[in-house]
Amino acid sequence: MKTYMTPEEHARLHRRRARQALGLLIAVLALVGIVTVVRAGVKGVATLFDDTQQKAEYEDRLEGLVLFDPLPFNGIENIDDLTLREAAVWGCVYSIQETQGGFDNYNTDPDTEQLLLPSVDVDAYLAKLVGPSFKLTHKSFEMDDMTIEFDETTQCYKIPVTGSVGIFRATVTRLFKKDGLLHVTVGYIPTQSSDDSILNNLSDTPTKYMDYLFSRQSGSWYLTGLTDSETKPESADSAASAAEPAPLAESEVNDAILATAGDSAAASAVADEAAPADEAAESTPAESTPAESTEASSESPAA
């Protein structure tokens, strides 16, 4: 029996199906929206607690100072003058190499082929580190194995061609605030071996840690001090002792001695039991058998 639908019922069926499709579409869009919001929230929280970029920025800013291992100081005006000049010039050189990939945009001295580093670039580097209010009086200075000459005419430092300078490179391991100051914990990684003969770039293990202190000025953080860090390097003695096997306890030593003695006694007993059998086996071929005696007696008359 066939069932017939009126035009009104047919129209209601189409409207019902359209509402169902629309509801399904809205549910799918809502689900997609919820997933998107959750993912954005997770990413935002991860970004909030991820300070990798900040650490890299402070490594660049402090590289020049870490190169020359400055002594602790309280107030940038109390830092050693030579150390500050070394850090300013060589930190600027390293920063240019890191950000620009080379010195193609800089002039060189036509006679010595030394790099000409403008003092304004050094000022800009220092301004990022210690603040724009600090002013450095530019002049030539002596290092351990070279002279950095400042040309008053060109207002440029003449940088000798050299492989590397400094004895450490920086790795920032921690950022935290204490007593209104930002503490930047820096690990000092040696760039040379203990005898200063060969480069040692294979090790990334810091040999010591220092905290660089930054104070907030006009919305930015600027260097104001240097102090010893609570973070300490892993002791070489403890690492060596960890690699060595732990000594046996006295009871374990006694057990080992008894076990060795027992094994020796058992081996001796087996050797004693085996000795008579070996002697009997060796003496048997030397005795005459009855068959051999009979054959010998029967052969005698014939002879």
pLDDT of 72: 95
Task: Going residue by residue through the chain, which has 303 residues, state the pLDDT in tens, using 9 for 90 and above.
Answer: 556 667 777 777 777 788 888 888 888 888 888 877 767 665 554 444 578 999 999 999 999 999 999 999 999 999 999 999 999 999 999 889 888 888 999 999 998 889 999 999 999 999 999 999 888 999 999 988 889 999 999 999 999 887 668 889 999 999 999 999 999 999 999 986 544 444 444 578 899 999 999 999 989 999 999 999 999 987 655 444 444 455 555 566 556 555 555 555 554 554 455 555 444 444 444 444 334 443 434 344 333
Contacts of 229 (CB under 8 A, 6+ apart): 185, 186, 209, 210, 211
Matching residue, tokens 């039991």? 273
Q: Write out the E strands in the chain.
A: 73-74, 115-118, 141-142, 147-151, 156-159, 168-178, 181-190, 208-217, 220-228
CA-angle at 144, arms to 191 and 74, nearest 5°:
75
Coil vs helix vs strand at 297 = helix
Coil vs helix vs strand at 77 = helix
Q: How far apart are CA 235 and CA 248, in angstroms?
A: 24
